[in-house]
Amino acid sequence: MTLRIAQWATGLVGAASARKVIEHPDFELVACFAHGADKLGKDVGELIGCEPTGIIATNRIEDIIAARPDCVLYMPLVWDVEAMAQLLEAGINVISTANFITGRSFGEAAVDRLESAARAGGVTLHGTGINPGLANAYALAMSAQCAEFSHISVLESVDATEYASAATWRSLGYGGPADAPGLAEASRERTRVFEDAVQMMAVGLGLVPDEIAFSIELGLATRELGLGWIDIAEGTVCGSRMTYSAMIDGRPAISLSTMWRLGDAMEPDWKGEGYVIEIEGTPSIRCVFEREGDPTGGGLVTAMSAVHSIEAVCAAWPGIVQAWELPMVAARHCYKPRG
């Protein structure tokens, strides 16, 4: 049965998502929510760089609900708990890449609101992405090979220069002084979804952490960086290494780290290796996978984890569902031979 899909937002991730939905034989794009007055009333094809679709962009949630989608791919830069709840209460499954894994970082009231809305609508809410998201699910799947483990770590170390979202990087202090008051606290607040991912992994592994600790190091530009979409002055922040750790008896049982950098002139000169998952245990395991061939600078790989989970999420039980609770998700109908 063809599933009816609505796309929410058409930025880097949303545009990649909408294109794959249009191409997929099991999905039909039926509506699109867009931000920005310049996008309203335009054909979605024009907004995402493909042929006309006949779907006109709107900024009214009522229009999305009226289109009766089975699922909304929710991908705005700034999320809205009430909008998500309205979609769920209308009986629409929601898959979010917008800072949502468990909802824990939104606060208890928000989680209760979303859980109640999903149950009232008889539908599912699921958060995913590449990291947090599939990278954490990979780590859980790899742990199935172990008789025991003492530490599981997930590291994302990437040059994010192609991720041209100035608002995102400014919110993390990039382009500003390293000694800006409250920078560490603001960085933690903006990235608490990674804390949620650590908590999700802990629950999947049957662990109850004493606390989830946070640490941050900053990289500074060694010259002026003019990246076309953001300018970073010499001596200001152009990179960061953040780690969230699930602590048990004073030791990290799970660590989730990010190393992001913009530009090619930073001190310390941290290098990116892609995604590295390491398990210290019996046996110990190390897996490295690199992100190559994504012209969107990460938008595509983030979007595909959501698109490929549509069928599993639509078939799941009502409420908030975590990655370890879903069946295996794979790239169905995506094979294309190389010419």
Q: What is the SS3 assignment for 317? A: coil
71, 2 contact by CB (below 8 A): no
| Inter-axis angle of helices 192-204 and 183-190, nearest 10 | 50
Cis peptide before 132 (omega within 30 of 0): yes
| Count of CA atoms in the C-beta half-sphere (13 A) of 101 | 25
Domain 3-129+300-325 CATH class label: alpha beta
C-alpha 101, offset from chain centre: 8
Cβ distance 109 to 41 under 8 Å? no
pLDDT tens digits, 212-243: 999 999 999 999 999 999 999 999 999 999 99
Which residue stretches of the chain have pLDDT < 50?
none
Output the pLDDT for position 16.
Answer: 94
3-state secondary structure of 34: coil
Listed by start position, the domains of the chain span 3-129+300-325, 134-290
215: Cβ–Cβ under 8 A, 6 or more apart, which residues? 242, 243, 245
What is the value of pTM for the model shown? 0.91
CB 125, CB 118: distance < 8 Å = yes
Question: By CB neighbour count within 10 A (0-12 exposed, 13-18 middle, 19+ buried), where does 235 fall?
Answer: middle
Contacts of residue 328, defined as CB under 8 A and 6 or more positions apart, other chains included, come to none
Report the length, in residues, of the chain.
Answer: 339
- Residue 163 is predicted with a pLDDT of 82
CA atoms within 13 A on the CB side of 80: 9
- At 297 the pLDDT is 65
CA angle, 172 then 175 then 180, to 5°:
65
